[in-house]
Structure 1
Amino acid sequence: MTQGAVQQSFRFGNTELPPDAQRARRRAVRLAWLTIGFLVTAVTATYLVMGSSQAMKAAWAEDLLSFIPPVAFLVALHVTGRVPSERHPYGYHRSVGIGHLVAATALLTMGAFLVFDSLSGLLAGEHPPVGLIVVLGHEIWAGWLMVAVLAYTIVPPVLLGRAKMPLAEQLHDRVLYADADMNKADWMTAVGGIVGVLGIGAGLWWADAVAALFISGSILHDGVRNLRSAVAALMDARATTVDGTQPHPLHDRIDATLRALPWVAQAQSRVRDEGHVFHVEAFVVPRDGMPTQAQLQHAWHAVADLDWKVQDLVVAPVDELPEELLPGLRDATGARPG
């Protein structure tokens, strides 16, 4: 492998990752492949034993959908490794957002379909038959095989999800975060399916449909939440943490760094999420006339050195902060920040 190829594998476009992020990236790739390998066994085993149980069908569909986030993560990671080109001067970081949108749309669509299918079966009073099968010359209730397969799918996803979560935060990768979040919640799918199957064995015909409805609702909820986050990021919303719940703390650090410069009277920035990295437009009001080239370069480096995620950065000196470009410029009292 050439030196250039080694460097390429450790970059997000033209952003060279620090050593800790490089290690996180390598581990995230390994975990994604482990997830795909596990899902192959889980989907196959579930398909072989699901019979006519709605809960098992929903669990099987959920396992199939679980392929999308790790595959989308690996594809997006490959695409973001490309350096900016004449046609794509900002690079290919938006592929992360596209992958997140694709995964969220698939979850939403399949979740809505499964909710409708499960609810229809419940209202129609369908009684799923779970009979006896012969294994090694002995007759056993097929439900026990279903329970065994579902039990197999409980622990690995939880461990994989917990391992991926800190890596998703470190790499600021929303697709990896969505994958980890789904993995952590997969145990509920398996437990719900087990309850449904055991309910059939106890003579509660409706338990299967209710369990399927619970699993379907979980898929639909994941789809809605991830779709909202993906669309907001693609619409250039203010950069947030990887879970999409809070403004990213790097934004305040950027403003504080600029305001601490001796020649800066006021400073305010706009930060948008490009994928793994941020695009920053920083507006600064000088204290005494136009700043020198050296002062602007110092300001640029001071912000860029805060975090590797600050990739595209513009420091623009202005006479006053452009309120029409910075809607959050005024505080609750209507006063402009100092």
Structure 2
Amino acid sequence: MTEISKPDSVRSDDYSAEARAASKVTIIGMILDAVLGVIKVIAGAIFHSQALLVDGIHSFSDVASDLVVLGVMRLSRQAPDEEHPYGHQRIETLGTLILGSILIAVGAALAWENTLRLMQGEADIIPAWPVLAAAALSVVGKEWIYHYTRRVGLEIRSDLIIANAWHSRTDAFSSVVVLISTLGAMAGMIWLDVLAAIVIAAIIIHIGWKFTWDSVKELVDTSISAEDTEMLKTIARNTDGVRNIHELRSRKMGQDILLDVHLVVRPDISVSEGHQIGVQVASGMREALDNIRDINFHIDAENDEEMPPTSEELPSRSGIQRILERHLGRYPANTRLRLHYLENKVHLELFLEAGADTVSETQLEKALADYPWFGSVRVWVSNP
């Protein structure tokens, strides 16, 4: 099994740059969230808009999530170490899970409170026009920070930053709902304001559930998509020297992909050629998906999914040499022995120099015929 990974120095520099970019965009978003939260809560309370008040609480939940993001990104973007050779990206996954859980809890509480208000008929005051101005300001600000944060998240391949971007966009969506409901309330449908608060809470719950479920799937090592898996298998099959690929396992760690690949090659090639074929397969896969971090490839001489498992009782090289010496009484000088372990049998090739003591294939077949592990033997003699 051979592992092909990105160089540690490159990965360490990448982690530092990504952490800085993530911290910068998160701090900017946190400041914007705090300012908008204060404006919306005050405006909602003074100008009688329950929807805007809930929207303001949503903005303060963004501030809380931003604090979670800052702490998690600092930890998850550390370079791999001896205790964590694959890195710390699972901390980011855990952070996304926590963020999603916070959203679900906040959304559920707000939905429950405003459902009770709607059922009890507490909506009886028409919101004032400053509510429209506060909601419009929130839409513009949150839509801008959404695009900025999402762009950074894609650049540094961070699900957590992308999740935080969508958290910001839910604030923009909810502010649009506030605008519509306020206009409706001003037109006489006062109950629209409370209904809008419930809709906003439902949006928050939906986004939180998506983040939570995606994080759970990653923590239990869910594989990449079937389409990407088949694409990688096709790349392997089309690589010169590969006869088949009979196993490809994948899992994600943050945005990084880890692969285990079993490649079937001709049984008579050298170890170094088999390794080079694996390197070419790994290179092709990385060109197709640039977020593949580690590829473990195993070179097989046969498809061991279709064959019985190779027996541990098959003799080793030194054991076979001792058997040859015992039966032949001598081991030809300067003999090179090549062994092929195929179909739970051992197939031998002996390479003899011209002029040395020779052994015929018939002699060897007769000597080894009673051994259950014996498959075949070939004797090659070099030209003088």
TM-score normalised over the length of structure 2: 0.67
Cα 1:321–1:26 shift into 2, 3 Å: farther
One-letter code aligned to 1:204: M
Q: Are 2:271 and 1:292 equivalent residues in the alignment? A: yes
Give the match's secondary structure for 1:264. coil
Say which of 209, 213, 217 aligns to 2:202.
Answer: 217
Q: Retained in 2: the 8 A contact 1:59–1:189?
A: yes
User: Does the 8 A contact of 1:104 with 1:222 survive in 2?
Assistant: yes
For the residues of structure 1 that align with 2:21 and 2:291, how far apart are their CA atoms? 19
Q: Does 1:184 align with 2:169?
A: yes
- Greater alpha carbon shift after TM alignment, 59-68 vs 32-41: 59-68
Change (3 A) 1:126 1:261: same
Deviation of the 1:56 alpha carbon: 2.0
How far 1:95 moved relative to its partner?
1.3
Match of 2:106 in 1: 110
- CA drift of 1:38 comes to 0.7
Q: Give the Å deviation of 1:98.
A: 0.7
Conservation of the 8 A alpha-carbon contact between 1:72 and 1:175: no
**Cα pair 1:13 1:81 within 8 Å, conserved:** no
Distance in structure 2 (CA, Å) of the matches to 1:182 and 1:238: 26
Q: Tell me what 2:363 maps to.
A: none
2:261 aligned to which of 278, 282, 297: 282
Q: 1:31 to 1:47 in 2, by over 3 A?
A: same
Instruction: Tell me if the contact between 1:112 and 1:220 (Cα under 8 Å) persists in the aligned partners.
Output: yes
| Deviation sequence 1:95-133 (CA, Å, 0-9, x none) | 121111011111111112221111111111113546xxx
Does the C-alpha gap of structure 1 residues 198 and 93 become closer, same or farther in structure 2, counting only changes over 3 Å? same
Post-superposition Cα deviations, 1:21-70, rounded to whole Å, max 9, x if no partner, equal: 99877555433222111111101112222215321222012112223444
- The CA deviation at 1:190 is 0.8
Note the C-alpha offset of 1:308.
Answer: 4.9
Superposition map of 1:87-106 within 5 A: 87-106=83-102
Aligned pairs for 1:46-57 (under 5 A) are 46-51=40-45, 53-57=49-53
Superposed, 1:13-92 pairs within 5 Å as 14=8, 16=10, 27-51=21-45, 53-92=49-88
Which structure 1 residue ranges, 5 or more long, are not aligned?
Answer: 1-11, 131-141, 241-246, 324-338
CA contact (8 A) 2:181 2:196 kept: yes
Give per-residue Cα distances to partners, 1:139-174, cap 9 Å, x unaligned: xxx722222221110112112222333443343321
**Alignment-derived partner of residue 239 in structure 1:** 224
Q: Which runs of 5+ in 2 are unaligned?
A: 1-5, 307-384
Residue 205 of structure 1 aligns to a residue whose secondary structure is coil
With over 3 angstroms needed to count, the CA separation of the structure-2 counterparts of 1:284 and 1:208, relative to structure 1, is same
Q: Give the letter for the 1:208 counterpart.
A: D
Shift of 1:291: 5.5
Q: Deviations over 1:220-273 (max 9, x none)?
A: 111122222111111111125xxxxxx574x44533332233221112421211
Q: CA deviation at 1:219?
A: 0.7
d(CA) in 2 for partners of 1:65, 1:73:
12
Q: Percent identity?
A: 19
- The amino acid across from 1:314 in the alignment is N
Which residue does 1:311 correspond to in 2?
293
* AA aligned opposite 1:117: E
- Summarize the Cα distance change of 1:80–1:290 in structure 2 as closer, same or farther, 3 Å threshold: farther
| Alpha-carbon distance in structure 2 between the residues aligned to 1:209 and 1:175 | 31
Per chain length, whose mean CA-contact separation is higher, i.e. which structure has more relative contact order (CA < 8 Å, sep 6+)? 1
* Residues 118, 209 of structure 1: 8 Å contact kept: yes
Task: Give 1:211's aligned amino acid.
Answer: A
- Larger CA Rg, structure 1 vs 2: 2
CA contact (8 A) 2:19 2:73 kept: no
Could you tell me which amino acid in structure 1 is paired with residue 303 of structure 2? E
Q: Which amino acid is 2:294 matched to? A: D
TM-score of the superposed pair, with normalisation by structure 1: 0.75
**Offset of residue 214 of structure 1:** 1.2
- The answer to whether the 8 Å contact 1:69/1:179 transfers is yes
From 215, 218, 240, the equivalent of 1:262 is 240
Once residues 302 and 13 of structure 1 are traced to their aligned partners in structure 2, the CA distance between those partners, rounded to angstroms, is 18
Change (3 A) 1:205 1:314: same
Matched positions, count: 294
Partner SS for 1:238: coil
CA distance in 2, matches of 1:280, 1:15: 21
Q: Are the counterparts in 1 of residues 150 and 162 from structure 2 also a CA contact under 8 Å?
A: yes
8 Å contact kept, 1:13–1:82: no
